[in-house]
Amino acid sequence: MAFGINRAELKAWKEAVTAGEIAFLTHYWLDERFPGCKTVTKAGCADLDKLIEWGKRYELKPEWIDHREDYPHFDLFGKTEIQALLDAGLEEQVNRFNLLSKHEG
């Protein structure tokens, strides 16, 4: 279950993904398969080769790509989530979801 984002943010992410950009969408999320994870960042791009190359920086395997709908993406958690957001210059998302205090140490 996703929450903490609005329709405009989701629409902008989908448009960027479709345009072949590496796009990020962070939201609160609860899934019993991932205890302790309260957020996820979707790093998406419709250009699969570009997404796979980007994922190599973070040791993400191509088979981890979620091909849901027309928006292929990696689901990022924890330290990988934080590092990818910071590398992309998205400190606002890190701060908005208070990610640093949750993953220090």
pLDDT in tens, 23-75: 999 998 888 887 878 899 999 999 999 999 999 999 999 999 999 888 999 99
Give the pLDDT confidence score for residue 105 in this predicted structure.
41
Structurally, the chain folds into a number of domains equal to 1
Question: Would residue 46 count as lying in a domain?
Answer: no
Question: Would residue 44 count as lying in a domain?
Answer: no
Give the pLDDT confidence score for residue 2 in this predicted structure.
60
Question: Would residue 60 count as lying in a domain?
Answer: yes
Give the pLDDT confidence score for residue 32 in this predicted structure.
84
Q: Which residue has the higher pLDDT, 51 or 101?
A: 51
Mean pLDDT of 67-88: 94
Question: Would residue 63 count as lying in a domain?
Answer: yes
Residue 27 lies in domain: 1-32+52-86
Question: Would residue 19 count as lying in a domain?
Answer: yes
- Give the count of alpha carbons within 13 A of 78, CB side only: 7
